[in-house]
Amino acid sequence: MDKLVLIDGNSIAYRAFFALPLLQNNKGTYTNAVYGFAMMLMKVLEEEKPSHVLVAFDAGKMTFRHRDYKDYKGKRDKTPDEFSEQIPLMKELLDRFGIRHFELHQYEADDIIGTLSRKADQEGFSVTIVTGDKDLLQLVTDKVHLLMTKKGVTDTDRYDPKKIDEKYGLKPEQIIDLKGLMGDPSDNIPGIPGVGEKTALKLLKQFESVEGVLDNIEDLPGKKLKEKVADNRRDAVLSKELATIMCEVPLDFSLDDLKYEGFSIDRVSPLLKELEFKSLLERIGGAGSSADEAEEMENISVKRVQPDETAEWESFLQQSPLTLYLEMSSENYHRADLLGVALSDGEQHLFLDWETAAGWEAFAQWLQDPEREKWCYDIKGNQVALRRQGLSSDGYSFDVMLASYLINASDSAHQLSDIAQRRQIGGLPEDEAVYGKGAKRRQLTGQELAEHLARKVHTIHQLKPILEKELQENHLDALFFELELPITHVLARMELAGVQVDRERLQQLGEELREHLEELTARIYELAGTEFNINSPKQLGEILFDKLGLPVIKKTKTGYSTSAEVLEKLAPQHDIAEEILHYRQVVKLIGTYVDGLLKEIYPSTGKIHTRFHQAITATGRLSSSDPNLQNIPVRLEEGRRLRQVFVPSEENWLILSADYSQIELRVLAHLSGDEKLIEAFQKGMDVHTKTAMDVFGVSAEEVTPLMRRQAKAVNFGIVYGISDYGLSQNLNIPRKEAGEFIRRYFDSYPGVKQYMDDIIQKAKQDGYVSTMLHRRRQLPEINSRNFNRRSFAERTAMNTPIQGSAADIIKKAMVQMDEVLRREGWKARLLLQVHDELIFEVPEEETDALSERVRRVMEGPVELAVPLKVDVNTGRTWYEAK
């Protein structure tokens, strides 16, 4: 059977424009609307498999509707240029897809769609209309269905007459009556004032149509309503007329002309490539997609050095700088095998398989020679992997991964191929395209491996000067060379040192927790009256809300929410809630911290070697994985006991923990220059108590624990970029009350208020914010017209300088501390960093002296308007060092 798809081009594109971030390609062309439109187009082509397609656009500003009502669409904001300029690109895309598009002077896209759907319906087509506009529901029949965008761009609902009846209790043709009564502010259609969707639906149920309502004004409920309808009869009729889609538009083509024959990849992919729609390109497997590129890559010449030839290449190693790339068997460089090495001087690329490289004495010498400069991708990974092969390495002078991160920390991908692609350097396929992923992953060998690595070193070599220049242009070079590059070596040492774990103690804690879990499970089954999988939010939701009939507090996309926040609210009503909360805690402890950590212990040493990621977070913080040692429990005693398993690696050593007190609020005091906040810290006051005094207008003695708790939440809120809603959620109080707290906070600390306003202003001007050490975070959405996106960017603008400067400070302290430990010959070792805390292992006899030394270093990296304060604690385990 013939199937016609009619797409409301402007509606879908407009929707995409507001739903998606304002994407730009390398040439600065805005592409978000085209992207969303293309996504929808491809989805519809795949799912509907149409034989005929047409995309209708609106033509110009004036339509026949303006003749009847000159204010039609009168209150619309001007269409943004960033949107308008994307329309031609959409049409170009459609041409390449071989899809007809059409617009007609004086008519809207709706009318074209209406005319064609009517015609196709009569000729026995089945029709699907795609739009985000509810008005088009009037066109639905048994054979004309409508896909309406629900959320985002491609998430849609399908409407047929039955669905419209379910949702509104109306027949499709009554949609115009609905709009006649309620109007539509976005099109400036008046309707009847005071009549909204609820009233309109009620009236239509009884009287069928606008005319029916107008003929029976006496029977309408309520005096007010009678008056309003009577006074606005003309507007109601006019509104209905305006909402009526005109189905007799003169068209100079027939349905046959809309035949869709499928598209040619060769026609479509060049445009997708130009627009930089990588995922869509992948989807159609077009030229320039990774699969394609892997095949069509230009040849690269690489010298594969054989074991008996190494002597001939010693002179190559005399050059400086050289680019080095090591390929490993897996992501975790602590465990990975080394597969091969590539070296490049920019002209010539060498490849050695790992056995050959490992047996080459001159190579080992070159590696550890600090005078021989090495350019690299991920210095730390290389350094750790080499060290595990017994090789020292030094002289690393550039890291393209770190440079890329500093230039734009928000880029989700700092994979070498991504960095290159963003700078228009071709010739390097993505690892995924070469190696495959998941079950299809394969290892390369021989010439293939040699060539792939040659492409990588070559790419790094080309990128280095480009990135270095970008660093300079953005004043990031000092941060790069004086902080990020040095700290990468500190982190390498920390990771290699590892943390000793008391395996027996860990297993013992595991046993205790497992016993506890059994008790909890039994109790929950008893309270529920049945056995079920407590770990499944779905099953748990059914038990709580269907079986036990507890009130639904919150929903998620997929069903009932059973989050801790919800369970806490249910606790007064049913004992099961508290048990489940407790169960969840224990499951978490066993799964993530007992079994999770056991898996990560290296059998030969009993240590755990995390990896610190230096190029992940948007703010400049580190992150940690495999395992994450930055989120070991501390808040609740049951979990905190897990810290007992982290012990020193040598006899008679201790764990020493040094943490910054209120570093973020101190940074805020400094950045804002707020006198009162500065004074609070200078006087060594408890800042939350002080905030409570100011916000609640009481003396220190009058501050109750509740007041202090609330003040603390306000302080957190300030650091996060406050909103009344966020604070109200956190404190579980009405939004108005939260807003009042915030107002009083800003009254008390006007310098902070001023700072927040200024930083947002500056972000809007510059498009980025900076930390104390000039780290930048781009905020492309700070001027977005989408409220949510803009608000998020504004909160980020407030938070990032604070969180990021704190990150700068502790990183600088780490570099200095590492230097101090080595220069002054301490035996102690730095092991971990947890954002505002450094953890060392230290010989007993060094403990007291080191405590002072650490404090002095950590308190000194930057000069602030307030003192930095560091608390130091020591103990036999991490648990005791509190």
Partner DNA sequence: TGAGTCACG
Partner DNA sequence: ACGTACGTGACTCAC
Please report, as residue ranges, which positions from 706 to 765 form the binding site for DNA (by CB under 7 A): 713-714, 716-717, 720-727, 729-730, 735
Residue 272 to residue 38: CA distance in whole angstroms: 9
500 near DNA, rule: CB under 7 A: no
Which range of residues in 262-270, 491-499, 792-800, 863-871 is near DNA by CB under 7 A?
A: 792-800
524 near DNA, rule: CB under 7 A: no
285 near DNA, rule: CB under 7 A: no
518 near DNA, rule: CB under 7 A: no
Options 202, 489, 523, 588; binder of DNA; rule CB under 7 A: 588
Choice between 174 and 617, CB closer to DNA: 617
Which range of residues in 24-32, 48-56, 489-497, 783-791 is near DNA by CB under 7 A?
A: 783-791
8 A C-beta contact, residue 460 and residue 400: yes
Residue 624 belongs to what H/E stretch? strand 623-625
Which range of residues in 20-28, 82-90, 355-363, 588-596 is near DNA by CB under 7 A?
A: 588-596
Q: By CB under 7 A, what part of segment 604-623 binds DNA? A: 613, 616-619, 621, 623
10 near DNA, rule: CB under 7 A: no
Choice between 723 and 816, CB closer to DNA: 723
Options 79, 279, 536, 704; binder of DNA; rule CB under 7 A: 536
Q: By CB under 7 A, what part of segment 59-98 binds DNA? A: none
Which residue from 89, 147, 129 is spatially nearest to 5, judged by alpha carbons? 129
8 A C-beta contact, residue 668 and residue 798: no
Query: CB neighbours of 785 closer than 8 A, spacing ≥ 6?
Result: 18, 80
Instruction: Please give the angle made by the CA atoms of 202, 208 and 214, to the nearest 5 degrees.
Output: 90
CB of 96 to DNA, least distance (A): 27
406 near DNA, rule: CB under 7 A: no
Query: DSSP secondary structure string, 543-590?
Result: IIIIIS-PPP--B-SSSB---HHHHHHHTTT-HHHHHHHHHHHHHHII
753: how many CB neighbours lie within 10 A of its CB? Answer: 18
Choice between 538 and 876, CB closer to DNA: 538
* Tokens at 818, concatenated: 């590492």
Q: By CB under 7 A, what part of segment 805-844 binds DNA? A: 834-837
Residue 214 to residue 240: CA distance in whole angstroms: 12
CB of 561 to DNA, least distance (A): 4
Number of residues that bind DNA (CB under 7 A): 76
155 backbone dihedrals φ, ψ, rounded to 5°:
-85, 115
Choice between 114 and 717, CB closer to DNA: 717
Write down how long the chain is.
882
Options 537, 780, 860, 875; binder of DNA; rule CB under 7 A: 537
Residue 685 to residue 694: CA distance in whole angstroms: 13
Options 45, 300, 634, 862; binder of DNA; rule CB under 7 A: 634
Which residue from 822, 848, 849, 828 is spatially nearest to 840, judged by alpha carbons? 828
Residue 5 belongs to what H/E stretch? strand 3-8
848 near DNA, rule: CB under 7 A: no
Choice between 288 and 627, CB closer to DNA: 627
CB of 80 to DNA, least distance (A): 16
Choice between 429 and 726, CB closer to DNA: 726
Sign for the CA dihedral angle at 423, 428, 431, 432 comes to positive
Choice between 150 and 475, CB closer to DNA: 150
* Tokens at 43, concatenated: 């989805």
Choice between 105 and 736, CB closer to DNA: 736
Residue 862 to residue 860: CA distance in whole angstroms: 6
414 near DNA, rule: CB under 7 A: no
Pairing verdict, β 607-608 and 499-501:
antiparallel
17 near DNA, rule: CB under 7 A: no
Which residue from 604, 647, 540, 538 is spatially nearest to 879, judged by alpha carbons? 647
Choice between 97 and 612, CB closer to DNA: 612
* Tokens at 741, concatenated: 């707290």
717 backbone dihedrals φ, ψ, rounded to 5°:
-60, -40
430 near DNA, rule: CB under 7 A: no
- Taking phi first (over 0 means left), then psi (-120 to 50 degrees means alpha), and beta for anything else, what does residue 378 get? left
CB of 187 to DNA, least distance (A): 16
Beta bridge mates, 612: 624
For residue 483, give the 3-state DSSP assignment: helix
Q: By CB under 7 A, what part of segment 176-195 binds DNA? A: none
Options 557, 683, 736, 823; binder of DNA; rule CB under 7 A: 557
Residue 423 to residue 421: CA distance in whole angstroms: 5
Q: By CB under 7 A, what part of segment 206-265 binds DNA? A: none
Options 635, 683, 736, 823; binder of DNA; rule CB under 7 A: 635
CB burial readout 516-548, b (16+ within 10 A) else e:
bbeebbebbeebbeeeeebeebeebbebbbeeb
8 A C-beta contact, residue 359 and residue 307: yes
CB burial readout 462-492, b (16+ within 10 A) else e:
bbbebbbebbeebebbebbeebbbbbbbbbb
Residue 621 to residue 111: CA distance in whole angstroms: 54
CB of 847 to DNA, least distance (A): 22
Options 31, 63, 126, 562; binder of DNA; rule CB under 7 A: 562
21 near DNA, rule: CB under 7 A: no
For residue 307, give the 3-state DSSP assignment: helix
CB of 720 to DNA, least distance (A): 4
Q: By CB under 7 A, what part of segment 437-476 binds DNA? A: 437-438
595 near DNA, rule: CB under 7 A: yes
Choice between 518 and 565, CB closer to DNA: 565
CB of 673 to DNA, least distance (A): 22
399 near DNA, rule: CB under 7 A: no
Which range of residues in 120-128, 183-191, 749-757, 790-798 is near DNA by CB under 7 A?
A: 790-798
431 near DNA, rule: CB under 7 A: no
Choice between 472 and 533, CB closer to DNA: 533
Which range of residues in 229-237, 282-290, 633-641, 670-678 is near DNA by CB under 7 A?
A: 633-641
CB of 535 to DNA, least distance (A): 4
Options 4, 550, 567, 772; binder of DNA; rule CB under 7 A: 567
Choice between 340 and 510, CB closer to DNA: 510
CB of 695 to DNA, least distance (A): 13
CB of 47 to DNA, least distance (A): 16
Options 585, 614, 672, 805; binder of DNA; rule CB under 7 A: 585
Which range of residues in 20-28, 294-302, 312-320, 580-588 is near DNA by CB under 7 A?
A: 580-588
Query: DSSP secondary structure string, 718-778?
Result: HHH---HHHHHHHHT--HHHHHHHHHHHHHH-HHHHHHHHHHHHHHHHHSEEE-TT--EEE
Residue 769 to residue 805: CA distance in whole angstroms: 11
Choice between 106 and 561, CB closer to DNA: 561
Q: By CB under 7 A, what part of segment 636-665 binds DNA? A: 636, 639-640
What beta strand segments (E) does 209-356 contain? 303-304, 322-328, 338-344, 349-353
632 near DNA, rule: CB under 7 A: yes
CB burial readout 801-817, b (16+ within 10 A) else e:
bbbbbbbbbbbbbbbbb
666 near DNA, rule: CB under 7 A: no
CB of 653 to DNA, least distance (A): 23
Choice between 99 and 714, CB closer to DNA: 714
